[in-house]
Chains A and B, each alone.
Chain A
Amino acid sequence: MHSLVEPNAWVALKMPAGNLRVLEIAPNTTISLGKYGSFPSNLIIHRPYHLTYELQDKQAPETFNRLRIVPASELYSDILSSGEVSSSTGEATPVSEDAENAVPTGIEYSLVDPDSGAVVATTNRAELDASARQTLTMEEIEELKKDGTDSGKDLIAKLMLSHTAIEQKTQYSLAKYKLLKTKKYIRRFSVLPLDVALLDHWLVEEKDPTRVMDMREEMIGLLGCWANVHFGGEERCKTDVLTTGGQDEVEQEHGQDQEEQEPEQSTGRWLVVDDTGGLLVAAMAERMGVLYQSEKDKAIEAQRKARLSKQRPHEPGSQPTAATDGQSDPAIKPAVGQVESEIKVEIEDQDPTRPQSPETNKKQYNGEGRQRWNDLHVPFSQTNTLTLIHANSQPNLSTLRYYDFDITNPSQGQTHPLAKHLMTLSWLQLLEPQLDSTYNSELPTATPDELKTWKGTKRGTYHRKRRRWAKVRHTIDSTRQGEFSGLVVASSMDPVSIMRHTVPLLAGGAPIAIYSPSVEPLTKLADCYSVARRAAWVAHPPEEAIGKSIEELEQWAGTDEFPLNPSLVLGASIQTSRVRKWQVLPGRTHPVMTSRGGAEGYVFTAWRVKPAEGKVEARGKARPKKRKAEEVDQVGQDGTGS
């Protein structure tokens, strides 16, 4: 995350009532807060996050509203002073609905005497004021707002004073009444970074909880921890064709140890099934450190985009750019064409003197050129990767747009860390790759002489196809090889069916974490691993299993009695978690009165294990019913219940 609000960053504006507005902050635009007013976007660009601003009135001759940073001392002044008062006199004080919304009470404190403009500590002064009895109409309020004098403070003061029944209220409800008015009209907001926690909060609490399967923050935290998702090791790109030159510039930051530590095996690879539109992928990528573009990468990317648009007309003869790709062959999936053109652009950058005629390109094809041009170089890292399995022919990762990553956009740059660390394949590609047209096709090959005779576009298509072929091959083959470090799932599909096909792909000891908005799919899954079923699998194996090797049983197709091979998974359990908010104010601390209902959210966890060859007898006698968890006999040792 960046230190300051970057131009064109997605941010959330937190409004006085606590609600969020999510915006992409384009420079030189006016940001409207609706009835609160508006201000130029340039006033928050390259400013820190989390400052509390107050919208100010226009000061002639300026044509825009400026912002004032409200210091914390002002925000809390009356809560803190009320704390002192209440402890000494027991007098009631303004109520804030909860601690975080305590913000507006500061204003309240200072607005009570509208005539003198002096700060008055109590509302009594107002009650004495004869003008207090006059009632304002809605029209009058609208008028006042248009005047915009002093950021709505006057308005609140007048509203308060106009409330004729004010002295009949108890101190408590008086305070509450004032506060509501304050929240509604005060012109304060703050700018928050749209990281995963905030994005999820916004999607679940305000926007569209069902689109993200009601996955609350508690669930995201549990999934990430139980699946042990973390930074999975220094970046190592597939080494069969190592990149040099242009690529290095990009990779320097992570890739220095390519020689130092040659990998024995790939590590830190997580398997994901995500029906939350990419929220789960984003959350896991954040934990792995591959969600945010570094400032440097962002700069490179911006340069690239600028160059791309500039250079396009100048090089019709060389390899087509991503944009022309799409035009020349719209049938090709844009998701795949994206990265390769990027490599080319990086190379151009590295070597600006390179003539752009087809002649020089030929050299490279003749073998004198640089290895990095090799189509079969796969841009994926071998460590710290996410492999997404999707149910439609294209993955739905729309949420990643908030992080400047669009897998379906052909001009998506390679500098984004997700370009190297996120692989996607469909269930068909995973389970029946022979039916995938790309996987099943031969690698297109042409001799250098043939290539020479081809037109630029044809050659471009040729190279694009080769690169696409290599990427699909790599993704499918490496996924099918298995040995994944963990499995994370948030899917509307039956978890039993997901487990059947993914458990064999996990390394021994790999953790499994599955989210479901409701408990039933998970109870069904846990039941597949019940104590009784596990015991039965050993004691009375089903006919279909008899005589099969452990390896064969890993691919267990499932029967009614044994939908899954229960010996491949250990410690199946289900949990749920929910936070409850508290209001913390002097003398008035209690849990908040209301919160969102809806799906509760559950997480299934377990580990992938490797059963020993042959029949393994459990030890330990069945104990009487009332037994302690520790004394569970061995058949029950990893059971999900009694």
Chain B
Amino acid sequence: MSSISPFLDSGLVTTPDTLALVHLSRDNIQPVYLREGSGSVDGYAEGAVINTRFGSFPHSTLINKPWGSQIRASIVDTGSRGRKKKVEAEDNDTEGTGAGSGAGAGAGPAKDLKTASSGFIHLLPPTPELWTTSLPHRTQVVYTPDYSYILHRIRARPGMHIIEAGAGSGSFTHASVRAVYNGHPRTTEDRRGKVWSFEFNEERYHKMKQEIEGHRLDELVQMTHRDVYNDGFLVDGQSPEAECVFLDLPAPWRALPHLARRKPTPSQLASGGLDCLGGSDSEWKSPLRADRTVYLCTFSPCIEQVTKTVEIMRRLGWMDIETVEVAHRRINVVREKIGLNMPTERGVNQVPGSVAEALRKLKEVECRSKEFHSQDQDTDTDTKINEDEEALNEAGQGTEDAPMAKPWTAGRLVHRTEAELKTHTSYLTFAILPQEWSEEQEAAAFEKWPCGKENKVIGSLDKEARKQEKREMLQGKKRKKPQNDASADAEDAGAGPALKRSKAT
């Protein structure tokens, strides 16, 4: 199916007109929309070309390659493009990247491309993680450590509908559409996972819409240009019927009154310093799914925003409110090369790796100075010392602090936190809104599940009750084998009944 987004199913090889990510280094990954090389583009005879500090890569060398392929740089004739471009190329500029830049049209692909003697890149298929590190930033974005936790906590699973505001640069949007995706709807009634994304800034809205279409996600992401503080979350008067909500807005509490089960009362809002919502109570429609718990997360950098948000959440009946911050660190792994026999690295002074090494070195120095002061040194002794030294070095081999043959296995393996650390992104405030449950519903359920005929006790029992249970169970066993003891004392049994049973098998 060609219409499926490369984010959801990239296939095994790169194809024209899809997004690929060119991996230059861990922190330098560039999005490229691959275009079939046809005729000259931007003065390149080869068609569209990516220029990096690791060489030039015509798109034609990138298409129809298995994902993950290492691609060698090509020798590209920059002749007609003049000096200016060349300078840019050296500044790690990439040509022909980005969605909009003009695709070349014309005759067949350039032939006789020569492989350069050095330089390469790797091609990776798009994922929200790679996109997040490479997307064009228009706003602050939500990064993987935060969104992975948020989506897990708000139960964004296949089939869910999620409301997101504001869309910003679309980092969270891409992660959330992957989370809720469970196929494309076949009919209008076919309810599939969907993202309802709202953005107030017109330019960002248009950019996002373009990107979503370019990534073939437009069937799964509904973009709406909207000020959600004032105008809420209905789209064309229809409710998204969302189970999950993510608010990355400066004042999430101003959006909350719209995210209720029924229209908030003026007193609920006034006490929180908010204006009343327009419209009559009866025609008010909730954007939330009525028959499910709704999970919400707000994302705010400042604690004052959190305080205000939590207060309004309480007034509006949100439960299990919890605020956290995510502390994330990347870890670098290095080989710490300390010791006199370590392979030398530029600018690194060798220091002894152990007391034994230090002693050896000190003795050496001591010995040398003695020789020096004895005046009668000649070339013979000099050589002798050198020989000693060599012998010493060789003797050292094989001991714990010996030099190793290969530099990449030498030294002690250690890890440390990356050099630059993000210590705060935002506060994440989670809350849930249970479904409403009317007295009529309760009465009906009570009718269907009448009480008073309980035949045994489960859960945590006090000692007396437990003894009684046991007595009854033993008696019961004599009569017939108990049908289901699995539900009993889940809490108290070592690993829960299920686990106990499976251990036995």
Contacts and interface: CB of A to CB of B under 8 A. Distances in A.
B449 A45 contact: yes
Contact of A579 (B324, B333, B408): B324
A187 to B, nearest CB: 14
Given A607-B124, A612-B69, A40 B451 contact: yes
Given A23-B487, A612-B72, A629-B25, A220 B152 contact: yes
A523 interface: yes
Interface string B57-77: 000000000111111110000
Contact of B66 (A27, A48, A84, A610): A610
Given A530-B335, A581-B322, A23 B293 contact: no
A233 B9 contact: yes
A630 B117 contact: no
Interface in B422-466: 427-429, 432, 434-435, 437, 442, 445-446, 448-462, 465
A319 to B, nearest CB: 24
B80 interface: no
Contacts of A401: 498-499, 501-502
A76 interface: yes
Interface stretch (B42-50, B140-148, B369-377, B394-402): B140-148
Contacts of A524: 413
Contact of A32 (B155, B183, B414, B461): B461
B123 A225 contact: no
B389 to A, nearest CB: 27
A22 B490 contact: yes
Contact of B68 (A38, A83, A190, A608): A608
B462 A34 contact: yes
B475 interface: no
Contacts of B303: 589
A618 B119 contact: yes
A582 B445 contact: no
Contacts of B120: 612, 616, 618-619, 634
A35 B160 CA distance: 39
A23 B491 contact: yes
Nearest to A630: B28
B314 A536 contact: no
A99 B125 CA distance: 42
A533 interface: yes
Interface stretch (B174-182, B211-219, B276-284): B174-182
Contact of A576 (B148, B157, B314, B329): B329
Interface residues of A, number: 150
B321 A22 contact: no
A579 B496 CA distance: 28
A108 interface: no
Interface string A243-263: 000000000001011000100
B129 interface: yes
A608 B501 CA distance: 39
From B1, B55, B496, residue with most partner A Cβ within 10 Å: B496
A238 B182 CA distance: 20
Contacts of B92: 630
B183 A234 contact: yes
A406 interface: yes
A30 B409 contact: no
Interface stretch (B81-89, B101-109, B196-204, B304-312): B304-312
Given A72-B317, A218-B149, A584-B310, A609 B333 contact: no
A113 interface: no
B455 to A, nearest CB: 6
Contact of A625 (B347, B451, B505): B347
B119 A35 contact: no
B299 to A, nearest CB: 13
B272 to A, nearest CB: 9
A170 to B, nearest CB: 23
B182 A289 contact: yes
A211 B490 contact: no
B98 interface: no
B470 interface: no
B498 A581 contact: no
Contacts of A165: none
A502 interface: no
B70 A577 contact: no
Contacts of A207: 495-496
A554 interface: no
B415 to A, nearest CB: 5
From A228, A288, A406, A519, residue with most partner B Cβ within 10 Å: A228
Given A100-B320, A575-B330, A638 B435 contact: no
Nearest to A19: B491
A60 to B, nearest CB: 13
Given A222-B148, A589-B306, A574 B331 contact: yes
A508 B67 contact: yes
A221 B322 contact: no
A75 interface: yes
A584 B71 CA distance: 52
Contact of B53 (A99, A620, A642): A620
Contacts of A56: none
Contacts of B327: 577-580
A33 interface: yes
B322 A34 contact: no
B323 A34 contact: no
A641 to B, nearest CB: 4
A13 B460 CA distance: 11
A277 interface: yes
A3 B149 contact: no
A172 B159 CA distance: 47
Contact of A197 (B118, B153, B159): B153
Contact of A261 (B1, B12, B67, B307): B1
B125 A509 contact: yes
B149 A217 contact: yes
Given A23-B459, A575-B328, A629-B27, A561 B409 contact: yes
A231 B160 CA distance: 12
B12 A225 contact: no
Interface string B128-170: 1100000000000000110111011101011100000000000
Interface in A219-233: 220-222, 224-226, 228, 230-233
A619 B72 CA distance: 11
Interface in A54-86: 62-64, 69, 71-73, 75-76, 79-80, 83-84
A42 interface: yes
Nearest 3 pairs of A and B residues by beta carbon: A508-B68, A509-B67, A289-B158
Given A609-B69, A612-B69, 10 more contacts: A25-B487, A28-B453, A83-B311, A511-B129, A573-B331, A576-B328, A609-B70, A616-B72, A634-B119, A637-B23
22 contacts: A3-B291, A22-B496, A31-B459, A32-B465, A48-B435, A50-B432, A72-B318, A265-B12, A267-B9, A289-B157, A509-B67, A523-B333, A530-B408, A536-B407, A560-B409, A570-B122, A573-B26, A574-B415, A579-B326, A582-B323, A608-B68, A641-B334
